[in-house]
Structure 1
């Protein structure tokens, strides 16, 4: 981690840039978000956005999903990575929740559901407008946070803890902001450092310009 940087101040411009930006999953309600978050694990948001409309036409709410079996779901999600496990998770999850208004909106309750880990739960809480209980650490954050110097290593849980320890709770939306930065500018190869508003404090930029 970069020493001598006041990350509380340094991260604010990035959070402000992205604070009202919706997650790239194109959901229309919390039910759709929960389903899409489960499906998107180790797959691309673009792929999930492509398959979602037909899936939700067939299963418009948690109640209809809870009555589905694997054969009914298969035609809609067979193009999703690891669809076998995800089918099972969605069936179990929908049978536990049963109706849209029963969807839990706390980290503790969300992570008890099949197919939902901390990252997914943090995304759901953010998009539902609930107070942050953790920091979103997706594959973009795993790449970008160590480049910036706000965290180190490659373990998402350790990176989340480092960011939570570094920033006060009201700035925990930094995770999603860093993710957007990774999607737009701080790509795995040829990052667009010159366009990045974080380059004054970025470790990678300092060492590579």
Structure 2
């Protein structure tokens, strides 16, 4: 009787090494200059492209260069400067954050602290922590990772929180920041929603989608 070969469990720490080398040290596409700008831009980037937020940022930060200045604004004063989806809610959120953080000697540094900020969820907190060198408390899961992770086979389809938990189970903590950024850039540049460039992907050898799309021998 012909034996059927059993597929072994993928060692994702080793499998993701080429991707971490390629993308793991890349800076986030948001063009921020300090932690204040990063917090504000992260809130604004929800359901908006990073390019859109980068475009409006110079004029916004020229007028509101600090938490203290932003805390004195009204949402209506911000509307003309925030032409992004959900700008009314986001205006209120960043003013609330500014009032909370203005004058503080220390900004939030933990996941528990960051997710108390208006408009900040785990993804936003992971972005902030990865870009400011804070110890990892999770893995960035944005819309790109939600698509890429199930394609690779490292996580099943599901909400971002479930995908993040699976990534945290399968990737060593020391790689969480680098892996999160790497998966995001993989989705931006190679593993596109349509016509993914599997022939360019450093993970095609372990990718479930690439194996299923390959012609039968």
User: Smaller-chain TM-score range?
Assistant: over 0.9
Q: Name 2:163's counterpart in structure 1.
A: 159
Which structure has the larger Rg over C-alpha atoms? 2
Q: Name 1:132's counterpart in structure 2.
A: 136
C-alpha separation between the residues in 2 aligned to 1:101 and 1:194? 49
Q: Secondary structure at the match of 1:123?
A: helix
Q: Name 1:61's counterpart in structure 2.
A: 66
Which of residues 23, 26, 32 in structure 2 aligns to 1:27? 32
- Per-residue deviation at 1:100? 6.9
Deviations along 1:6-57, whole A, 9 cap, x unmatched? 1121011211211221101111111101000000001111110111110000
Q: In the alignment, is residue 12 of structure 1 matched against residue 33 of structure 2? A: no
Q: In the alignment, is residue 185 of structure 1 matched against residue 190 of structure 2? A: yes
1:55-204 matches, cutoff 5 A: 55-77=60-82, 79-99=83-103, 101-173=105-177, 174-204=179-209
- Per-residue deviation at 1:101? 4.4
Deviations along 1:126-174, whole A, 9 cap, x unmatched? 0001111100000000000000111011310000000001111001121
Give the CA RMSD over aligned residues.
Answer: 1.3
Q: 1:3 to 1:158 in 2, by over 3 A?
A: farther
Can you give the 5+ residue segments of structure 2 that lack an aligned partner in the other structure?
1-6
TM-score (norm 2): 0.92
